[in-house]
Amino acid sequence: MRHHRDPGLKPQSIGEGSVGFEYEIAKDLAIGSRAIYRHMRNVIEDGSFDDGDTYFIFNPGRNEPGTTERSACQGDVTTGRQGRCFGRAQRFYRAIEFRRPSDLRTTISLSLPTYSRV
């Protein structure tokens, strides 16, 4: 089995954004909500053009000169392999949290469900 690492392989990275609010309904009683969005910027995957006899480690969708993705898109005339791009890997996390923050002077804490979608 042969393998290689893509030249210029980028590390995995995540982007995240969140926004939230808290509202005091009455003295010592508040509610809150927060929305979260995460996405993978760079993904590292392994792949093969020949059913696993050789494989490579690469960033799918990173179609730059000299990368495995560029090679996949162009195909190989010597072996007759048709050009097929892998495409960008898409991984997302979206969630909405509802909470009732506890006051430090009390021991009451309420945990509400989190709705999420991956």
Average pLDDT of the segment spanning 90-109: 70
Quote the DSSP letter at residue 43. Answer: -
Letter for the amino acid at 12?
A: Q
pLDDT for position 109: 46
- Beta partners for 29? 26
Residues 6+ apart with CB under 8 A from 5: 56, 57, 58
Banded pLDDT at 18 (limits 50, 70, 90): very high
58 or 116, greater pLDDT? 58
Helix (H, G, I), strand (E, B), or coil: what is residue 68?
A: helix
- Please report, rounded to a whole number, the percentage of residues in the chain having pLDDT higher than 70: 82
Q: Per-residue pLDDT for 108 more than 70?
A: no
Rounded to whole angstroms, the Cα distance separating 45 from 42 reads: 10
Please give the structure tokens belonging to residue 34: 């927060």
Question: Nearest CA to 58 among 41, 42, 79, 78?
Answer: 42
- Please report, rounded to a whole number, the percentage of residues in the chain having pLDDT higher than 90: 10
Strands 54-58 and 2-5 come out as parallel
User: Model's pTM, two decimal places?
Assistant: 0.60
| HSE toward the beta carbon, residue 34, CA cutoff 13 A | 12
pLDDT for position 1: 58
